[in-house]
Amino acid sequence: DAGVIQSPRHEVTEMGQEVTLRCKPISGHNSLFWYRQTMMRGLELLIYFNNNVPIDDSGMPEDRFSAKMPNASFSTLKIQPSEPRDSAVYFCASSLLSQANYGYTFGSGTRLTVV
Amino acid sequence: DAKTTQPTSMDCAEGRAANLPCNHSTISGNEYVYWYRQIHSQGPQYIIHGLKNNETNEMASLIITEDRKSSTLILPHATLRDTAVYYCIVQSGSARQLTFGSGTQLTVLP
């Protein structure tokens, strides 16, 4: 398996522009998570899906952020409009959750810079 | 409300065992201890987890005290590639999300 695939790896955009980050989870995994990492705040959970349904989006900073999971093999995180404070590394992770506990597999992340 | 306490940083000589401690004095009966690590510029990587018994896999060993208030991650023969931030996370088995703290920066020295 190729693991969790995120694209793009790097994104530089101007303030006010729309940004879309993409994630392909591991095939067969039923949960997907979006995290954001900054030096100041560390790793923060933004939202997670279970069986393509958003379960908890309390970590989404504000209405400018939205996430979708139209099917089991694809998710997007959109920021519109983007602001310089959104600059961070965004990670996607997937897992197979059942009665037992499984580790999460993280992607390589998207480094977003908003200028 | 951090559930775990870890040292900010540790050093270890290459080839020696690295013992990373974690305190979780308020752990509940249904909460697991997870360990992840993050090598610079990469996504976090799952290492191991346990409930109350000691666990071992190809990467590391996890030793949990009998009262479950603390644990130690052991990398038996540390290499330079083990230099990373190591996160100890306590989470309910029924919870879906992981909450990361600040972790321990482990530096393996040649």
HEC states along chain A?
A: CCCCEEECCEEEECCCCCEEEEEECCCCCCEEEEEEEECCCEEEEEEEEECCEEEECCCCCCCCEEEEEEECCEEEEEECCCCHHHCEEEEEEEECCCCCCCCCEECCCEEEEEC
Residue B1: per-residue pLDDT: 47
Give B13's contacts (C-beta < 8 A, 6+ positions apart): B78, B108, B109
Which stretches within A21-73 are classed as H helix?
Answer: none
B98 touching A (Cβ < 8 Å):
yes
Instruction: Write down the mean pLDDT value for chain B.
Output: 92
**Distance, CA of B83 to CA of A66 (rounded, Å):** 35
Residue B106 CA to residue A89 CA, distance in Å, equals: 21
Residue in A50, A93, A108 nearest the CB of B42: A108
Nearest to A32 by CA among A101, A98, A79, A96: A96
Cross-chain CB nearest to A55 (options B96, B98, B101): B96
Report pLDDT digits (tens) over B70-94.
Answer: 999 999 999 999 999 999 998 876 6
Nearest residue of A to residue B42 by CA position? A108
Could you identify the residue written with the tokens 């954001």? A36
Residues from chain B that touch A31, judged by Cβ atoms under 8 A, are 96
Cross-chain residue pair B96–A97, CB shorter than 8 Å: yes
> Is residue A103 less than 8 Å (CB to CB) from chain B?
yes
Distance of CA B42 to the CA centre of its chain: 17
Please check whether residue A3 touches B, CB under 8 A.
no
Please report, in angstroms and rounded to a whole number, the separation of the first and last CA atoms in chain A.
36
> pLDDT 10s digit of each residue in chain A, 115 long?
689 999 999 999 999 999 999 999 999 999 999 999 999 999 999 999 999 999 989 999 889 999 999 999 999 999 999 999 999 999 999 988 764 566 889 999 999 999 9
B42 in contact with A, Cβ within 8 Å = yes
Give the separation between CA A103 and CA A69, rounded to whole angstroms. 21
Interchain contact A56–B (C-beta under 8 A): yes
Closest residue in B to A103 (Cα–Cα): B46
Q: How many residues does the structure list for chain A?
A: 115
To test the contact with chain A by mutation, choose from B31, B90, B97 the residue with the greatest count of A C-beta atoms within 10 A, namely: B97
A91/B44 Cβ within 8 A? yes
